[in-house]
Structure formats: structure tokens, C-alpha cells
Structure 1
Amino acid sequence: MNTLTLPTYDIAQIMGGLYGDGIIGLKGAFSREWAQTLGEDVLRLYDEALQRPGGALGRGPKRHYVEIHPEDIRGFVELATHPWVTTVCKAVLGPEYKIVEIGFDVPNPGAVNQPWHRDFPAPDDTIIGRRLNSLAFNLTTVDVTEDMGPFEVAPGTQWDLPIDFEHGMFPPKTNSSRYEQRAQRKMPQMGDISARSALTIHRGTANHSTKSRPALVLGVDAPTANNAERHDLQITRAFYATLPESLKQHLTCRLVDKLEPIVQGHTIEGLMMGEA
């Protein structure tokens, strides 16, 4: 697209949504064909991850997370340079934002409710400065239905102080009724994308269907965040050379001659047993 046909997005709505509810979305950001291709890549990578020790990390019964390499999916450049993605990142994280993570979650049939949680402890930027310094973008590879264990979020809870939170991530059970009163279940369709603060209290719900519900995750940081320390974003020099300069400046990655298996450094032990 040239500059005359680039879509424009309302910065106030973006900021209001992420600082308010803690999650926003864009319907039909990509074609269904693009999402189908992504789904094919994710299923292949999931199968490969299950074959190697530590390749797929448990996020609860019948539920896994797999961190991947950007060049392992055919649509990485289209995702990372999508005008809505770049606009959201610049609006919330500033012009020097960095992509630090790409992976996917797979809640399989039989997955149970996760406990309410954050993906990592809230940083001082948020607790003291009342600023968001990271975002997670999510894309489903299937049309989500009520019985497939949809993602559930408690809007506005990214600002909750972590009082009595276990490991800074798991709120006390006494908070659950408040989250359940606020809870919204998200049922995106293929091609939709969302952006959220990973600090907004959320959980995956029970998958009562016979289908898995894979969802891609793209993690992005502001300069003051340190989530890159939890990940190992690798890109081969050959692939890096093909990337647009506008994207290179937003990558925190390790350049390699040959991709190495990722040793995931962010196991969330509190999710392993599911909801108590």
C-alpha cells in the first residue's frame, strides 16, 4: 500500500482501550487465507516441539506454550509491519519499541480452567509510574466458539496492585469473585488480532470441544521493559538481510548462522495444576 491508502487508526481509542479495559482488537486485520497459512505453520511447529525434550512447555493440563523463531512462520513480516500493530506499539510503547517474543499457546481438548493470573509480575513502570511498558498481540488460527476454551479477561485489572499475589502473578483466591463479575470471554475469528497488557488479569477457560485452539503471541516492549531477558529471539543472518529496515530497528534478537532450539526461560509453575 502507498501512503495515500494506508489506513488510519484513532490513537485516543487505542490508548483509552489499553489503559482502560487493558485489551483492544481489530476485526479482519488479515485475510482468512493468511490465518489458515499461519495455522498450518503453527500445527507443524507444535508437532515438532512435542518431539523434542522441553520443546513445548506446559501451561496447565492439556495446554502448551511453544516459543518459536520469526522465520518459522511465513507471515512474520506481514504481522510485524501491519499498520495497526505498528500504530498500537508506537502509541503505547513509544517510537523505540522492540519485538522480543513470538510463540503460540495451544489449549487442547480437555484443557481445564487456568487460575486467574498475570503473565509476569508488574514492573515499577506500572505500579509506581502507572504506565504500560509492554504489550502482547494475539491471533487465533481457528474460529473460536464457546466450547473451545476461549480466553477470558477481567478488564481494568492491569492496574491492580499485586497485594498478596503469589510470585507477583497469581492473585489470592479471595479476588476471584471480582474477576468473575468483570470477566469477558473473547471469541475471535480467523484474521482478527488483539493487543493486551499481559498484566490484565486473565485465564484460559476449559476446552470442552474436540478441537484445539492455537493462538499466536507476539510480545513487544518499550525501552524501559526487560522482557527480552525471558526469551531468546533468534534470526538467521540470511533472513535478517531480507527484512525491511523499518522492521530491523524494532527487533531485539540474536543473529545466528543456524537457528538453535530455544530454551524457554519463563516457565509459569502456578499454571501447571489448573484452577484449584
Structure 2
Amino acid sequence: METVEVNNPVTATYDIAQIMGGLYGDGIIGLKGAFSREWARQLGEDIAGLYQEALQRPGGALGRGPKRHYVEIHPEGIRGFVELATHPWVTTVCEAVLGPDYKIVEIGFDVPNPGAMNQPWHRDFPADDDTIIGRRLNSLAFNLTTVDVLENMGPFEIAPGTQWDLPTGFEHGMFPPKSNSPRYEARAQRKMPQMGDISARSALTIHRGTANHSDTPRPALVLGVDAPTARNAERHDLQFTRAYYAALPESLKQHLTCRVVDRLEPIVQAHTIEGLMMGEA
């Protein structure tokens, strides 16, 4: 994962060419130490509570393979949402790749528990004409770990440059044929971020979660962001209560595709990925 080292992220400026080159090249970039370890620890506490709640609610936690779940959440369910969404690296990356009218459309977390298996290589959703024909990236996924990732904890694995692969023979536009696997394995990079690190990637870059052989879950927050031409908001239901929304910075409100409600409603998750349910050995 490419990194940009800074002493003060609040006042830092970032190299647009490096951002564009990384996301249009490898398909993933990162920033070490974007947040404090205490901030990441607090995020981990919030996610742990939300995870237990979701497991008790029908449809609250979607399976992403054996002993692996994804949970879509309300932004005000975590204490650091505003700090995340307004971090200067996050906003710079979004503006550089997606344009000034980018929209946050999703927030959730993925939990590979002990015993989780290798996922099949996949994309998070099918590529659209913006990428297949126009050769443009119109969405990004930001990821933050809540633990220091070790090799035996099921690290995220990605095949750099594959966001541009045409979906020939892809099942549901997301799952490449098994014959492609040797190429992905030859290119594969395992990512082992530390608490406070953040990454940004194209969800079209071929990737998978690997087997968690440890006795520790590996939660990771996901923030999904779209360009105006993308339609991923249709898969999600970003909600804010009126009081919380009113207190948000105006500069953030203009980048939200959401509903403002009197009372938060349970999220009916629409982005199921059936092909991940079995896992691989």
C-alpha cells in the first residue's frame, strides 16, 4: 500500500499525482497514522457494540462467508464519523478521483472472525460503463482497521491493477472464472495496516479476505463514496436524525446522499453477495 508520511495531517497538503497514479495504477493507496491509536481504539469499541446488536437483529449482519459478516450502520453510531468524513486526506482523495461533487453513500464494517475462510476472488459490485468504456473510476472504498493486523488474522488481499480487467466470464459481473486465479495470486499483496492507518481503493480491484487462523476478529470500517455518475446509493440507506444532521458542518452535508429522519430506522441491507457465502478452503 503506498503511503504518504505527514507530521500534521490537519494542515498537510497531498500530492494529487501520487493519489491519481496509485488509484488508477495499483487500485489502492494508504496513509499511515492518519488517526491516533486512541481514536482507532474508540472506533473498535463502537464497532464491537454495534456488531453484537446486529447479530441479534434479523438481517442485521450479512454473511460474507463462513464466520464473516458485513454490517451497514448509521453514521451517528460511531463517535468519529465527522473526523473521518472531513479528514483532509479523505476529502483530497475524493475530490481528486471523484470530483468536487462526490457523495458519501455507505458506512459499515466487515468482521472476519476466527475460523473465517479464504473468500473467492471478487469485486464488490459489477463495473459500469464509466469504467469499462470510459476508463474512469467513479467510486471509492475507504478502510480503517480497529486492530493491528498480523499475518494469521486473515489480512485483506488485493491483486493490483485489476480494476481495469474486463468482466469476461465474470459471474454476476463480480466473480471472475477460476482460470483467472493464478494471475491474481501472482500479483497478490496482503495488507497489514496498524491502528490509525487508512486506505482508499477501487472496489473493482480484484480482492479477497483471507483465512483467519488467529483467535482474534479483524474488524475494519468501510466508507463508500461515489462520483455523481455512480449509482451505489441505491444499494444503501444512509440515515441521520434531524438533530445530528443539523449539527454537521455545512461542508460535509453537501457530500451526503442520505435521509434525514425523526428516528433512525433499521437498515434493510440490499447489497447481498451470494457468491461469498461458501468461502474457499
The TM-score normalised by the length of structure 2 is: 0.96
SS state of the match for residue 86, structure 1?
A: helix
Q: 1:1-276, aligned counterparts within 5 Å? A: 6-275=11-280
- Find the aligned partners of 1:27 and 1:275 in 2 and give their Cα distance: 31
Deviations 1:33-83 (A, max 9, x none): 000000000000000000111100000000000000000000000000000
Q: Which runs of 5+ in 1 are unaligned?
A: none
- Find the aligned partners of 1:108 and 1:82 in 2 and give their Cα distance: 29
Shift of residue 107, structure 1, vs aligned partner: 0.1
- Find the aligned partners of 2:224 and 2:48 in 1 and give their Cα distance: 20
- Find the aligned partners of 1:224 and 1:88 in 2 and give their Cα distance: 17
Letter in 1 for 2:116: A
- Find the aligned partners of 1:201 and 1:110 in 2 and give their Cα distance: 22
After TM superposition, the runs of 4+ consecutive aligned structure 1 residues lying more than 2 A away are none
- Find the aligned partners of 1:31 and 1:210 in 2 and give their Cα distance: 25
Letter in 2 for 1:76: F
Aligned length: 273
SS state of the match for residue 100, structure 2?
A: coil
RMSD of the alignment, in Å? 0.9
Q: Which runs of 5+ in 2 are unaligned?
A: 1-9
**Sequence identity, in percent?**
88
- Find the aligned partners of 2:237 and 2:120 in 1 and give their Cα distance: 27
The TM-score normalised by the length of structure 1 is: 0.98
SS state of the match for residue 237, structure 2?
A: coil
Shift of residue 7, structure 1, vs aligned partner: 0.5
SS state of the match for residue 265, structure 1?
A: coil
Letter in 2 for 1:223: P
Shift of residue 142, structure 1, vs aligned partner: 0.2
- Find the aligned partners of 2:58 and 2:279 in 1 and give their Cα distance: 22
- Find the aligned partners of 1:132 and 1:168 in 2 and give their Cα distance: 16
Deviations 1:160-203 (A, max 9, x none): 00000000000000000000000000000000000000000000
SS state of the match for residue 106, structure 1?
A: strand
Shift of residue 6, structure 1, vs aligned partner: 1.4
SS state of the match for residue 42, structure 1?
A: helix
Shift of residue 275, structure 1, vs aligned partner: 2.0
